[in-house]
Structure 1
Amino acid sequence: MTWLDDTIGWVSPEWGARRLAYRARLDVARRGYDAARRDHRTASWHTAGSSANAEIAYSEEIVRNRTRDLGRNNGWATQILDTFADHAAGTGIVGAPTGLKARNQQRVGAAWANWGEVCDYDGDHDLAGLLWLATKGMGESGASLIRIRRHAFDASTTIAPLSLQVLEPDFIDTLKDGTTRDGGLIDRGIEYDAKGRKVAYWLLPHHPGDVASWRMRSLVSDRVPADEVVYLYQKLRPGQDRGMPLLAPAVMTLRDLDSYFDAELVRKRIESCLAGFIETPEDDLAIGTNANESRNQQQAKYGKLVDKFEPGMMTRLRPGEKITVATPANSQGVSEFAQLHLREAAAAAGVMYEHATGDFSNVNYSSWRAGHHGFRRRMERVQWHVLIHKACRPIQMRWREAARAAGLLPAADFGWRWTPPGFISVDPYKDAQADLANLRMGKVTLRQLVEERGYDFVEQLLQLADDFKAVAETLGDDFRFDGDPRKALTQAQPSSSDKAEQTDAAKAA
């Protein structure tokens, strides 16, 4: 306390106490976060406190179009987007029923598999291909729409009357705004109820960017209930209702890198050209000394103002003239500059630098495995929190409803499990040993190991049984391949006859 504080406190203790309290608050503010300081370093740093939806509303279309342009014309962007889709969706997420008897489980699994082969509304993919396409679209455009289309049931088939159509987020009518009769809100093509929950999407019949006149007959949006649409996107902030492209933080980085490469290419072209300048010591022969002479007169008097050098050409000059050859400075550090920008772009997109570039020159077995753990965790988050939760489960529920209504399910009460594709092993032999050890300790099940590789467990067992039966019928019961798991079991646990022979031998000894 200073003498002024003592004086104020003597005159009015209340004022003195308030003065000390405000001074303490000011000291706390001064000792707060450096990130909140306002000085010359942050004078040009303008930030906004708007919500996620407000920020996306002003940037979504521009960022989406720029990301698509990079995906078409920038090899690094294409590699990043494909890597994201390949590791998140891959060859498909395996779904199978649980809680059923073997026969019923086989029937339900077969019905699901048969529908998955023909579920594409456009007829181009199976279920795994549609999921990969939706994942790629989510990374490139920020979101993907999977519209569920219902059809009349054909009794001659065993296919559920349901199909899936993957659409880009451009189909959402962003010009559709207003309020509804029940107190809800329509915000840029998404309808909410009075409690703020999504209840419908207003979708255009055609892509608004389609320039084909025969498809642009009408752009009047239709209301589609929310349970008939899967809006696939990554929710990165609370309250965020729309997605942004995966490359949004890396758009400017990749764009600047393209511009830098263009400038370096121009520089290299200039360096590859041999340019020479003719100098003369005589003033009367210097070009441009007589302002009254035209360009044609100067060319007739002194020759061409610009000549070309051809390979192997040598020419003599006038007495006193000399040629100076231009030697542009070589550019250095291009590779280091590109690596820094590509590392930043890969980190912004959540993939490894080696995945984005194909450059594995600076990694070894140990560093690759250590770095791959973090990438694998991120992809697992996308698989379980986004793809399975937002896409696979709703699709399975709609399929179950349609198949049950068509009488294709032998039971109504059963569960469902999902198994995303496993990651490719760096050392298959060591990983196989680890799988065997985990299986023997009960840390994993055989079903998990099989489905982790993209196969249905029941179908795998049926194939094994068929293979064993074919071998026995052709070669006999005693013949077994070295890869037959029953052979390892026989070696580990001798038969009763082998045990008896061992006992007799021990007694005789």
Structure 2
Amino acid sequence: MVSLLDRALLALSPKAALQRAAQREAARMIGMRSYDGGRNSRATYGWMAGSTSANAEVYGNLLALRNRARDLVRNNPHASKALRVLTNNIVGSGITALARTPDAAINKKIDALWKRFVEECDFNGQLDFYGLQRLAIRAMLEGGDTITRLRPVTNKKFAIPLKLQLLESDYLDHRKNGIIEGGKRVQQGIEFDSEGQRSAYFLFRDHPGEAPFNIPNSYISDRVPASTILHLYEIQRLGQIRGASWFAPGMIKARELDTYEEAELVRKRIEACVAAIVIGGDDENEMGITTSQANNGASDSGPSIVDSSGNKVEQFEPGLIAYARGGKDVKFTQPSVSRDYDAYKSSQLRSIAAAWDVTYEHLSGDLRGVNFSSIRIGLNEFRRSIEAMQWLTAVPMFFNPVWQAFHDFAQVSGALPANTPRDVEWTMPRFESADPKTDTNSDIAGIRAMLLSPQEAIRRRGGDPDQVLKDSADWHKKLEAAGVVSDADAAQTAKPGAGIVKGAEGGQPSETIVPPEHDDEVVAP
């Protein structure tokens, strides 16, 4: 519809009217090409999205998210299972390290010292380094971040004068905020220098949660140099300095599923309590209400529903038989069947599993309807997520810094020469194969095609290539000394198990398997 202004402009200046119409159409097209999610419409009504920074978002919900996540893990079986699944797959029984300097003798010495350190590194003297790994990852996933404090020791009995003290994120005094002298700033308990680098952490002397036990230092924090602190958390946004609980995205759905199951359980219990109802009095309808009450609301002298003792029914108990006044006919109750319960719960668990980055089968333990292909595809994606957490978060923020600190203290104490190379190789826990035979054949084909090295294939299974080689060589020597021929030794047999004749052209297999000390008596066919 053309407005009155457009008509007047058209009469006075057709050119200006044409330009106005063109600009209006251009504005309309720009609006059509915008993102639907950015428009104000009925679909986005009530959707409030702030433009706060990552740190402002974490700071505003830090305590609530952390406390609710821990409550979920304590009381929700699915949250507890998800945390175990993630921890088991990220750490397993331990992520191992091997020195990889160019000098084999130095590697051997470093590995021996590292083995001692692994056994002695716990500040509390309870776990080894592999146990601390598990605690560090678990605390990060549950609470958002893990603080590890490097504690020097003077006791000469330890190979490396260093201990690792793991602290929950509660120890970090998030109340400390502001600008301090020298152009430094403190944000959520972390001090940054004038260049924006971390210079210190403000840590409580005791866990704030110990306050109910009258621990006097629970709310007193001290400045600790950042060089003695390892801060482990997942960085999800640029500039983020604190971590959020892994359970944050699915927290509400998990809680709602809990309340739904509780309501469903109460309904089932009530239905199961009432065994029968006696109804059908002369002056009552089917609900046990007298005709006079139904017609004019007149009250009666006694309750309309009583138990077998004549007492008014105020609560349901198992095996209850309720009597309506004047009842003559017994009606047995039939508990209803919730046909949608399984479907609804499965749907909710799938959403929660997606939020927590585990598979539905991991979360529920339900393997119905799963075939080999579907579970393999699901596990492949899950493993990619686990590997990303291992190599992009855990290794650079925890494992490598621990290795560097180990070298620092080893060299200062004289256990290692100064300027010893610090090359290291981390071996992750292996993933169990859904089809070991197929995966093994695939690795063999990849190695023969030079697409995969034997070392990498061994590391994928959580092994040490050098140790596997040494063990294999030692075993083959024992077999040879005992006169035993095994098709595991390619120097003795071909793949089908036929013996290899030394000096035979092309390494062709012989017809007969013979011990190696008598192979000169065999004539090649």
Choose which of 332, 339, 358 in structure 1 pairs with 2:339.
332
Aligned to 1:428: 436
- Cα displacement (A) at 1:293: 8.6
Matches within 5 A, 1:404-443: 404-409=411-416, 412-443=420-451
CA distance in 1, matches of 2:499, 2:54: 61
The structure-2 alpha-carbon separation of the partners of 1:508 and 1:91, relative to structure 1 and needing over 3 Å to count, comes to closer
Q: Which amino acid is 2:165 matched to?
A: Q
CA distance in 2, matches of 1:444, 1:500: 26
CA distance in 2, matches of 1:76, 1:126: 29
SS at match of 2:138: helix
CA distance in 1, matches of 2:318, 2:475: 74
CA distance in 1, matches of 2:522, 2:160: 66
CA distance in 1, matches of 2:14, 2:39: 34
Is the Cα contact below 8 Å between 2:235 and 2:243 reproduced in 1?
Answer: yes
The structure-2 alpha-carbon separation of the partners of 1:108 and 1:10, relative to structure 1 and needing over 3 Å to count, comes to farther
Q: 2:386 matched to 1:379? A: yes
- Cα displacement (A) at 1:397: 0.8
Q: Which amino acid is 1:281 matched to?
A: D
CA distance in 2, matches of 1:13, 1:321: 93
Matches within 5 A, 1:363-402: 363-402=370-409
CA distance in 1, matches of 2:411, 2:23: 70
Is the Cα contact below 8 Å between 2:501 and 2:508 reproduced in 1?
Answer: no
Matches within 5 A, 1:166-177: 166-177=166-177
- Cα displacement (A) at 1:415: 1.8
- TM value normalised by structure 1: 0.85
Aligned to 2:34: 32
Aligned to 1:207: 207
SS at match of 2:182: coil
Q: For residues 320-369 of structure 1, what are the alpha-carbon distances to aligned partners after superposition, in whole Å with 9 as ceiling and x for unaligned?
A: 84445555643221100100000000000111111111111121111111
Is the Cα contact below 8 Å between 1:143 and 1:168 reproduced in 2?
Answer: yes
Q: Which amino acid is 2:370 matched to?
A: V
The structure-2 alpha-carbon separation of the partners of 1:449 and 1:313, relative to structure 1 and needing over 3 Å to count, comes to closer
- Cα displacement (A) at 1:19: 7.5
Is the Cα contact below 8 Å between 2:504 and 2:524 reproduced in 1?
Answer: no
The structure-2 alpha-carbon separation of the partners of 1:256 and 1:211, relative to structure 1 and needing over 3 Å to count, comes to same
SS at match of 2:97: strand
Aligned to 2:112: 110
RMSD (Å), alpha carbons: 4.0
Is the Cα contact below 8 Å between 1:146 and 1:167 reproduced in 2?
Answer: yes
Aligned to 1:249: 249
**Unaligned runs of at least 5 residues, structure 1:** none
Q: 2:476 matched to 1:476? A: no
Is the Cα contact below 8 Å between 1:247 and 1:349 reproduced in 2?
Answer: yes
Deviating more after overlay: 208-217 vs 16-25: 16-25
Deviating more after overlay: 356-365 vs 66-75: 356-365
Q: Which amino acid is 2:425 matched to?
A: R
Q: Which amino acid is 2:138 matched to?
A: K
Choose which of 335, 339, 352 in structure 2 pairs with 1:345.
352
**Unaligned runs of at least 5 residues, structure 2:** 511-519
Is the Cα contact below 8 Å between 1:92 and 1:454 reproduced in 2?
Answer: no
Aligned to 2:275: 274
CA distance in 2, matches of 1:34, 1:501: 70
Q: 2:264 matched to 1:229? A: no
SS at match of 2:426: strand
CA distance in 2, matches of 1:288, 1:389: 81
Choose which of 429, 432, 448 in structure 1 pairs with 2:456.
448
Q: For residues 207-242 of structure 1, what are the alpha-carbon distances to aligned partners after superposition, in whole Å with 9 as ceiling and x for unaligned?
A: 111256364445321212222211111111112111
CA distance in 1, matches of 2:237, 2:416: 40
CA distance in 2, matches of 1:68, 1:127: 24
Q: Which amino acid is 1:349 matched to?
A: W
Q: For residues 18-54 of structure 1, what are the alpha-carbon distances to aligned partners after superposition, in whole Å with 9 as ceiling and x for unaligned?
A: 8754652343023322212212222121111111111
Q: 2:43 matched to 1:41? A: yes
The structure-2 alpha-carbon separation of the partners of 1:293 and 1:422, relative to structure 1 and needing over 3 Å to count, comes to closer
CA distance in 2, matches of 1:506, 1:460: 32
CA distance in 2, matches of 1:6, 1:311: 86
SS at match of 1:41: helix
Matches within 5 A, 1:306-317: none
Query: Higher RCO, 1 or 2 (CA under 8 Å, sep at least 6)?
Result: 1
- Cα displacement (A) at 1:409: 2.2
- TM value normalised by structure 2: 0.83
CA distance in 2, matches of 1:505, 1:396: 56
SS at match of 2:267: helix
- Cα displacement (A) at 1:259: 0.7
Q: 2:56 matched to 1:88? A: no
Q: Which amino acid is 1:422 matched to?
A: R
The structure-2 alpha-carbon separation of the partners of 1:18 and 1:409, relative to structure 1 and needing over 3 Å to count, comes to farther
Matches within 5 A, 1:23-172: 24-152=26-154, 154=156, 159-172=159-172
CA distance in 1, matches of 2:426, 2:33: 51
- Cα displacement (A) at 1:71: 0.4
Aligned to 1:457: 465
Q: For residues 441-486 of structure 1, what are the alpha-carbon distances to aligned partners after superposition, in whole Å with 9 as ceiling and x for unaligned?
A: 33333333333333333344444455455x26xx826334554465
The structure-2 alpha-carbon separation of the partners of 1:107 and 1:447, relative to structure 1 and needing over 3 Å to count, comes to farther
Q: For residues 356-409 of structure 1, what are the alpha-carbon distances to aligned partners after superposition, in whole Å with 9 as ceiling and x for unaligned?
A: 111111211111112222111111111110011111111111111111112222
- Cα displacement (A) at 1:77: 0.5
SS at match of 1:222: strand
Aligned to 1:261: 261
The structure-2 alpha-carbon separation of the partners of 1:153 and 1:435, relative to structure 1 and needing over 3 Å to count, comes to farther
Matches within 5 A, 1:291-310: 304-305=311-312
- Identity between Structure 1 and Structure 2 (%): 31
SS at match of 1:210: helix
Is the Cα contact below 8 Å between 1:64 and 1:142 reproduced in 2?
Answer: yes
SS at match of 2:282: coil
Deviating more after overlay: 50-59 vs 336-345: 50-59
The structure-2 alpha-carbon separation of the partners of 1:204 and 1:505, relative to structure 1 and needing over 3 Å to count, comes to closer
SS at match of 2:127: coil
Q: Which amino acid is 1:176 matched to?
A: K
CA distance in 2, matches of 1:485, 1:181: 71
SS at match of 2:89: helix
Aligned to 2:517: none
